[in-house]
Structure 1
Amino acid sequence: MHQFVECIIAGGPEHGLIRRQLWDAGQAPPPMLSTQDGMLCSVAASRTAGIPGCRFLLLLHPQASGRQFIDMLAVLDAHAASARAPTTH
């Protein structure tokens, strides 16, 4: 089952970067990202978007501070909530 994931990075040189990619959730492990400093960021939190086939992931840099993690977790929650919000036309 392929789905789009929006990855938000907490900590490191790409702190706050949001990257969208396709992920095969049925076949592959969760996405990991190597940052400019060569460190590997792994999934620390996940939220569904309320849109079929879309998920938000928080990737944590090994040297991220607690504050950076909490700040980007709030961004992750805001993105997920806005994706679930009904639209009016």
Structure 2
Amino acid sequence: MGSRRTYFKVPDCKYAKLYGDANFVDERHRHRYEVNPDMISKLEAAGLSFVGRDETGRRMEIVELPSHPYFIGVQFHPEFKSRPGKPSALFSGSYP
């Protein structure tokens, strides 16, 4: 728990664009939940894309729905690093 690094595993994913095409993002975590590994292939077959993973590559941290203009889900808490007048890039939602 606390701040952990999440690596982008899919080039040109929406979330990486929010962060200026970064290779990773450091965000705060405050839970012990994770995606059931047995369900990952089924979720991907249904159209979801797991674009961000932890440093081991085993935990799914960021999911996107490529067919949607702005469907992004995260396992961390971007609100913990947001400040008045400086929200997390996830909340501003602006990317090129």
TM category (shorter chain) comes to 0.3 to 0.5
Structure (1 or 2) with the greater strand fraction: 1
TM-score (norm 1): 0.34
What is the TM-score of this pair, normalised by structure 2?
A: 0.32
